[in-house]
Amino acid sequence: MTVEENLQQLGIILPEPPKGVGNYVTWVRTGNLIVTSGQLPWKDNLMLWPGRLGGEVNIEEGYWAARQAALNAIAQLKAATGDLEKILRIVRLEGFVHCASGFRDQAKVLDGASDLLVSVFGDRGKHTRLALGISDMPLNSCVQLGLWAEVSG
Amino acid sequence: MTVEENLQQLGIILPEPPKGVGNYVTWVRTGNLIVTSGQLPWKDNLMLWPGRLGGEVNIEEGYWAARQAALNAIAQLKAATGDLEKILRIVRLEGFVHCASGFRDQAKVLDGASDLLVSVFGDRGKHTRLALGISDMPLNSCVQLGLWAEVSG
Amino acid sequence: MTVEENLQQLGIILPEPPKGVGNYVTWVRTGNLIVTSGQLPWKDNLMLWPGRLGGEVNIEEGYWAARQAALNAIAQLKAATGDLEKILRIVRLEGFVHCASGFRDQAKVLDGASDLLVSVFGDRGKHTRLALGISDMPLNSCVQLGLWAEVSG
């Protein structure tokens, strides 16, 4: 199965890659690595579930927000490569979860991103991960993800 | 314009690259990548505006602190390369902002670093960025930056 | 001295590399880089000193927890390479310390990891470092470490 076939089977149409909110670009390629800027759960110019996990946002909402942010990250990879088949490996997911004090289920939230990456890229989607709870997030986003991928020549 | 000409035009004299505050080094080169340790807003051995954004430190102060930390990061790149013309691309800025609860303008603070990188390196300075709010920072610094750069052979 | 000789002299027997706690893998190799997932202070399936620095956990305990997490990171490098002599350089330690508000000694805690890396790898263990205070950590762990290493052909 190709990545595009996986997307189709999952019923996913990739969004436009979101623009940044400051003086930076949304991806850079260096050698065979692509790195994205921090991705937020934008969907059609709205941010999904702003707020804190363990506060206004529950785990299921956080899971879907993380999935949406990962979808935006995949859209950045598509913009960077033109063809997602060129992605050899998702190297690393950096997951930051906006939390109320005492929240401990960052892993369950970030699985929303990780599950999507594995569904879309198969074995090539098996990535390393950081999972951290952050007290304050730009624009009150409930998650922020950074993604590193290896790309073919 | 070369990087050194840009620095001159901006009236910038690069500082000495600050030393670390633990058992680590301030930069490493691996392949064509240079990565710096976390840079703080040291200026002449004083730390600019210690404290939290949204608390003792306002956005304008945070902007200038981020600019100073970026200047220190550029000084690390100079130490690593001997010649800033060898920097092909600023790949990534990792920006951590020390925040009081509820602060949401991490992007405005970190633009102090991003604006400087683009002014100094031009198109080669266009970087990806993470922007995160951190509750507690070593030495009460208001910002900490990590920088990745691609360097020529 | 080889790395294995250093380990022996330090009286260290490498643990099994801990498994992750979500849908991700514990290390990836891309080119000559290995990156680990976030490492926690697991020891024999128990987590050392859960809680916050500046709260339930004191600096000395945090130091030893950071050392244990670094030991687990080295175990991941061993799994990735089969032979730690293939590690040319520890490139980067990303250190996140779980803190009560106002804790400022992240560097002293993370030296537990940094000191071990330098003891085990010698000059090849001299790394860059990020040191950040995090308000909420998965599973209430007191530290989380990410490690990047350069490996030979």
Residue whose tokens read 């970087």: B127
Domain edges within chain C: 3-18+30-151
Tell me, what's the pLDDT at B82? Answer: 97
- Superfamily of C3-18+30-151 according to CATH: RutC-like (3.30.1330.40)
Tell me, what's the pLDDT at C22? Answer: 85
Tell me, what's the pLDDT at C151? Answer: 98
Nearest chain A alpha carbon to C52: A102
Tell me, what's the pLDDT at A123? Answer: 96
Exposed e or buried b for every residue in B50-62, given b needs 16+ CB within 10 A?
bbbbbeebebebb
Q: Residue B70: phi, psi to the nearest 5?
A: -70, -35
Tell me, what's the pLDDT at B22? Answer: 85
C-alpha–C-alpha distance, residues A151 and A86, integer Å: 6
Fold (topology level) of B35-151: 60s Ribosomal Protein L30; Chain: A; (3.30.1330)
Residue C117 distance to chain B (closest CA, Å): 10
Tell me, what's the pLDDT at C109? Answer: 98
Q: Long-range contacts made by residues B56-59, C-beta under 8 angstroms, separation at least 24?
A: B57/B98, B57/B142, B59/B105, B59/B108, B59/B109
Complex ipTM, two decimals? Answer: 0.96
What are the chain C neighbours of A135 within 8 Å (beta carbons)? Answer: 135-136
Q: How confident is the model at residue A38 (pLDDT cuts 50, 70, 90)?
A: very high
Residue A133 distance to chain B (closest CA, Å): 9
CA angle C80, A36, A52 (to 5 degrees): 95
Neighbours of chain C (3+ CB pairs under 8 A): A, B
| C133 → closest Cβ in B30, B35, B136 | B136
pLDDT tens digit string along A95-131?
999 999 999 999 999 999 999 999 999 999 999 999 9
What's at A146, amino acid-wise? G
Q: Quick check: C134 and B135 CB within 8 A?
A: yes
Residues of chain C that touch chain A, judged by Cβ-Cβ distance less than 8 Å:
20-28, 30-31, 35-38, 94, 96, 134-140, 144, 146
C-alpha–C-alpha distance, residues C118 and C122, integer Å: 5
Mean pLDDT, rounded, for C105-133:
98
Per-residue pLDDT of chain B (153 residues; tens, 9 = 90+): 899 999 999 999 999 999 988 899 999 999 999 999 999 999 999 999 999 999 999 999 999 999 999 999 999 999 999 999 999 999 999 999 999 999 999 999 999 999 999 999 999 999 999 999 999 999 999 999 999 999 998
pTM given for the model? 0.97
Q: Quick check: B138 and C134 CB within 8 A?
A: no
Strands A42-43 and B33-36: unpaired
What are the chain C neighbours of A150 within 8 Å (beta carbons)? Answer: 30-31
Tell me, what's the pLDDT at A28? Answer: 98
